[in-house]
Structure 1
Amino acid sequence: MTTAQATTELSAPGPVEVDDAPLTDHDSLFYESSSASTSITSSVLAYKYENGRRYHAFREGNYPLPNDEREQDRLDLFHHITKLNLDGELFLAPLGPSPQRALDFGTGTGIWALEFADLHPGCDVIGTDLSPIQPSWVPPNCHFLVDDVEAEWQFDAPFDFVHGRTMSGSIGDWPRLYGQIYKNLKPGGWVEMQEFEIKFQSDDGAFERAPTFAQWEKDLMKASQVFGKELETAQRQAGWMKDAGFVNVVDDKRPSPVGPWPKNRKLKEIGRYNVPHCMDAVESFTLALFTRVLGYTVEECQVLISKLKAELRDPKVHMYWYYHFIYGQKPEDTK
């Protein structure tokens, strides 16, 4: 295997050290918070309402998470958490100084595409999503389309950079998707996927204090498998990239704690924001999959969600997950 073909998997971080100092009033507030602060046709806007949440209309049922304002707030908060992980950056792939075309699929609120467009005013940035929930006032070099990334791509020119974030649970055929990405990149262009592991980690037996969360993880992964779009894919992204023909593949894995319990200052800050994010995320990930796939009633879901939130509020539960930043390059000598 050549160096270019090998996957660079950065050494896994060691255990996350717990800060033994008492929680400040500021830290306690994060545990007490319960929430984080194509041409559009009428059919695209005919959203589906279910169990008190709003879902997309275009390709109805393809994506099991809501698209309402609560979910948009959660996505924007998660964008902030991701930038904390990346020390303020939007991506890790070693792009050249002047990319000309970039694609952000599954763009959500469009916040990543908007910031990338501002940083690269000479780059034509396209964001696609099933839901037209992006702002109308955008930089002149940023455009949003209602599109299904799993359909055949119809772009009229290749890209220098393709970016996707937290697409696990949205994609049924990852090898096909990477084939389309490869086909639509310029030689020497880069792809980056940012995906977190669903399975939480603990270095001090937190799951004994959070049995509901431990069982919820298993049920959530089972539901996503039955749905046909698995949630636990972060560890396989690098392999799919290589199989599609990408080289210089790197899998950068970083811990993302829930709660301000870590001793490390950066991880403590990430943990503070992850509490309100996870408080909202457990409902977003639970309602549709558990009612549509596992046969739960909405009342049973709400009881489950309440128990999950109680465990998330427990400052003695020291959980974290791994967040993967995986990027690879289309060979420059590709015809």
Structure 2
Amino acid sequence: MCVFGCDLSPIQPAYVWDNVFFSAGDFEEDWTDYPENAFDFIHMRYTAFSIKDLEALLHRVMKHLRPGGYVEFQEMTYWPRADDATLTDTTPYAFRDFCYYTQLGLANLGLDLHMIGRIPAALRSSRYEDVTEVRHKLPIGRWAKDRRQRQKGIWFLRMILMEGLSAISKRPLGQGLGWKDAQIEMFLVDVRKSLNDSGVHSYFPFTIVYGRKPFEGSAGTDTATQ
């Protein structure tokens, strides 16, 4: 078995296993470096919002999967919600404002922050079979009582949001909305404060969507798992 990884930038580690290979490239361009009908499994994580032409991408994936091979997307729905009254439609919450402005900025750049919601229907219309959705909840911060969920929330808060917030903001807020760097950083002060508020029991829905390339003459089914 071999594993091939692709990223826009050559940021991969210097040491990898003998059966692991990395390359730099754009998955929305033709996959000329890879043979058709060759892969058993194609996986994409945290990339759905960067897709400009979903139908073309799914067609490209179909060409390079073996019959019976699977494609899988893992993505969050980037809109915080809560299952209790700690976050309602009228609750002041700067991180929700951040998600709103990020959505607007990406839309101005021709991108859909909530692309994951379109993928199941697009898979079906692109002739993938056994299209399945698996939904989870990813806590934002330390509030979860369950130990494992709390660890996930702390990791997500520290590694993704707190340390990467400035970098995440530059394209949607800077390029998409035209904000200056100083304006972005001032805005992020309140965003970081809201993220550290354990009194708000917010989470992101996390969705796994996968589908199978048909075998010849097969008739697939669709399922959805909450």
TM-score (norm 1): 0.60
Contact 1:206 1:316 in 2 (8 A): no
What aligned pairs does 1:209-248 form with structure 2 within 5 A after superposition? 209-248=91-130
Q: Distance in 2 between matches of 1:209 and 1:311?
A: 11
The one of 66, 78, 81 equivalent to 1:198 is 78
Contact 2:103 2:172 in 1 (8 A): no
Is 1:150 the counterpart of 2:33 in the alignment?
A: no
* Deviation for aligned residue 1:209: 4.9
Contact 2:104 2:176 in 1 (8 A): no
The residue that corresponds to 1:24 in the other structure is none
* Deviation for aligned residue 1:284: 2.5
Contact 2:141 2:156 in 1 (8 A): yes
The one of 175, 189, 195 equivalent to 1:292 is 175
Identity %: 27
Describe the superposition over 1:68-114 as per-residue Cα deviations: whole angstroms up to 9, x where unpaired: xxxxxxxxxxxxxxxxxxxxxxxxxxxxxxxxxxxxxxxxxxxxxxx
The residue that corresponds to 2:222 in the other structure is none
Contact 1:200 1:319 in 2 (8 A): yes
* Deviation for aligned residue 1:211: 3.0
Q: Distance in 1 between matches of 2:203 and 2:175?
A: 28
Q: Distance in 1 between matches of 2:188 and 2:217?
A: 49
The residue that corresponds to 1:161 in the other structure is 41
- Structure 1 runs, 4 residues or longer, greater than 6 Å off: none
Contact 2:86 2:199 in 1 (8 A): no
Q: Distance in 2 between matches of 1:217 and 1:309?
A: 13
Q: Distance in 2 between matches of 1:233 and 1:272?
A: 26
Contact 1:221 1:230 in 2 (8 A): yes
Letter in 2 for 1:279: M
Distance 1:164 1:334, change over 3 A: farther
* Deviation for aligned residue 1:181: 0.4
Letter in 2 for 1:206: L
CA RMSD of aligned residues (A): 1.7
Greater alpha carbon shift after TM alignment, 236-245 vs 276-285 = 276-285
Secondary structure at the counterpart of residue 206 of structure 1: coil
The one of 163, 181, 197 equivalent to 1:280 is 163
Secondary structure at the counterpart of residue 50 of structure 2: coil
Contact 1:209 1:317 in 2 (8 A): no
The one of 163, 169, 188 equivalent to 2:68 is 188
Distance 1:334 1:302, change over 3 A: farther
Contact 2:49 2:116 in 1 (8 A): no
Contact 2:95 2:192 in 1 (8 A): no
Is 1:136 the counterpart of 2:14 in the alignment?
A: yes
Contact 1:193 1:327 in 2 (8 A): yes
* Deviation for aligned residue 1:257: 0.5
Letter in 2 for 1:135: P
Secondary structure at the counterpart of residue 48 of structure 2: coil
Gaps of 5+ in 2: 219-226
Q: Distance in 1 between matches of 2:118 and 2:164?
A: 23
* Deviation for aligned residue 1:334: 6.3
Q: Distance in 2 between matches of 1:268 and 1:135?
A: 29
Q: Distance in 2 between matches of 1:217 and 1:313?
A: 16
Describe the superposition over 1:245-297 as per-residue Cα deviations: whole angstroms up to 9, x where unpaired: 11111110100011222223332221221221321343222122211121111
Letter in 1 for 2:132: V
Q: Distance in 2 between matches of 1:135 and 1:259?
A: 29
* Deviation for aligned residue 1:169: 2.9
Q: Distance in 2 between matches of 1:259 and 1:129?
A: 28
The residue that corresponds to 1:254 in the other structure is 136
Q: Distance in 1 between matches of 2:47 and 2:217?
A: 27
Distance 1:171 1:334, change over 3 A: farther
Q: Distance in 1 between matches of 2:157 and 2:3?
A: 32
Q: Distance in 2 between matches of 1:295 and 1:212?
A: 19
